[in-house]
Structure formats: C-alpha cells, structure tokens
Amino acid sequence: MTPPATDHQSPAASNPGRVLVTGGGSGLGAAVVEAVLAAGGTPVVLDLDVSRVSGVKAFEVDVADRSAVEAAVREAGETLGGLDAVVTAAGIDRCGKLEDVPAEQWEKVLGVNLLGTVSTVRAALPYLLPVHGRVVTIASTLGIRAVADATAYCASKFGVVGFSHALAAETSGRIGVTTIIPGGMKTRFFDDRDERYKPQDDSRLNDPERVAAAILFALSQPTGCEVRQMLICHEEEGSWP
C-alpha cells in the first residue's frame, strides 16, 4: 500500500534552520548549538562569554541589557537573512536566603533569566512571524516546584513558565512556543556556588546533550503540531516531583 502524501519532512529529517541560541557559549546552550549543526541547521550565539565559541557566528552580549540584545538580534537576523527559531538557554543563579543575597545580585538573576528571555523573544518576533518560526524557552524544575534559598531563581523560572504559556496563547497559529523544563545538568552552572549549594552526587545530573536532543525534537515538529511543554531530567532527579 502506498503511504499517503505529505507536504513536510518527518521530524527526524527536519533541518532546524537558522537558530539563535542565548547562552550558547557553554552548558546547555553549547549543546544546542552542536545539535543544530548536526541536524544541518545554522546556529548563532548570544552570550556574555563567547571565548569558547568557534565555527559559528557569535555576539558578546549581556542578555540582561535589553538594548544590547535588540541590537545583537537585529544584526544576527540581518546576517543570516532571517531567523527560524530562538532558544533562550542563558541562565544564572545566586543561592542564599533572601536577606543574605544582595539586592543587585537577586535582581540580576531576574534580569538574565526572565527579562533576558523576554527581550530576546520580543526582538526576534519580526523575524519569526513571517516564517511561522519557533521559540523554545528554558525553564527549570524549580519553575514548577519551589525550594528554600532559591527565591531569585525560582521567581525567574516560574516567570519563564508563565511568560511562555501566555506567549503561546498570544501567538497561537502564528509561531510555535515550547517550554522546556530540565532538571539538573552536568554543566558549569554550579561552579560559582558555595559548596553547600553544589550537587553532592553528579551521577544524578542529566547530560545537556540529552536535553538538547529534546529541544531539537520540539523544533522538528511540522507546522500545526506543537510540543507545548516538556519536562526532561535524570531518572533519579531530586527536584522533581
């Protein structure tokens, strides 16, 4: 029997196209860049530190700086002749009790994790809307479950979840929006923490490459089909459920 005709590639064969990745200089963002390249796409990186980025276009940007983000996204879009997707993987944390974390550091977490996500998506919309592009925001298991000594991070990631859901409703039928909720990963994210806030057993941290593969799966869906939200973690993840 001849299979029915289809007007799109299968997800496994889909090229993700031109993908802007914030935080693409390390960790999950770097894994996404590699996954996009492996799938035949063209990544472009926005990161505060691009010293380890090679072979792809990169812009040194503090995503908490809205004007700088707008300029970089505009240049990236013009350089590539458009954008097909955005992945907002930039993120920081400042652990500690509310009264112990300096206000400027607490607010910087929101500036990077939440406002950086919003600024990047807003700046990219003029490129994404004409091509029915996709947005993949990176939340956290601490965006759906709160813990002590993480008020800034939880506030920012709960905000990313709410923003993403509202954006999906607002842009329904015009762009795709996926919220990725990863558990802890084996990255440099924990390096600058006080020892008491570092994972004591990294065997229960997921590989960022696995999360990147999930992101590519979301990007590979045919028009009209959406992965709206995906939680991905190590099978022994401690912050979920």
Catalytic residues: 153
Residue 210's Cβ-count burial label (10 Å; 0-12, 13-18, 19+) is middle
Rounded-to-integer distance, Cα 48 and Cα 125, Å: 22
Tokens standing for residue 191: 């390096």
Tokens standing for residue 23: 């935080």
Tokens standing for residue 230: 């995906």
Contact 149, 97 (CB under 8 A): yes
CA 172 from centroid of its chain's CA atoms:
20
